Amino acid sequence: MKNSSFRIVPIHTEIAEAARREAEAGASDHAVITADSPGGFPCRHCLRWAQPGERMILFPYAAIAPGRPYSESGPIFVHAEPCARYAATDEFPLEFREGRVLRAYNSQHDMIAAEVANGEGPEAVIERFLQRPETAFVHVRSVSHGCYTMEVERI
């Protein structure tokens, strides 16, 4: 479903590449894990679930940078091998439509709303958040694990 009001923002390629370098160097906070199930290892760069057997890097990512009340860092996966950054940025990624909570933040990076996208789908929640002028961006996270999935910005 294409839309014209928001854009999906996967993590930057530089962040994925840095994680691969850190893992290669043996950094203690960058674990290399082999996916052993089809729905447990989401790559935040290509925005796809890893297939069993694919190697993934697990590392901490500061979704809200330090120095603010809502600062937050937590574990995310990226593919250990180079992958293509998600490019269909006018479409909410099909593989992450289920099991997500959406959070709206203002320009001070304070959380101003949060909703689980049940039934109506994530696009409707995003549209509603973006209709509030104070919403600066939206974060998508896992309902079950709390991990950061992607950012959504207003076009």
Which residues in this chain contact Zn ion in the complex, by CB under 5 A?
43, 45-46, 79, 83
Q: If we measure between CA atoms, which residue out of 91, 102, 115 comes closest to residue 6? A: 91
Q: Cα separation of 37 and 107, whole Å?
A: 38
User: Least distance in Å: CB of 138 to Zn ion?
Assistant: 21
- State which residue, 14 or 66, has the beta carbon closest to Zn ion: 14
Long-range pairs for 23-29 at CB < 8 Å and ≥24 separation?
23/57, 23/59, 23/80, 27/59, 29/59, 29/60
For Zn ion, which is the closer residue by CB, 129 or 141?
141
Contacts of 31 (CB under 8 A, 6+ apart): 23, 57, 58, 59
| Closer by beta carbon to Zn ion, 43 or else 104 | 43
If the CB atoms of residues 45 and 139 are measured against Zn ion, the closer one turns out to be 45
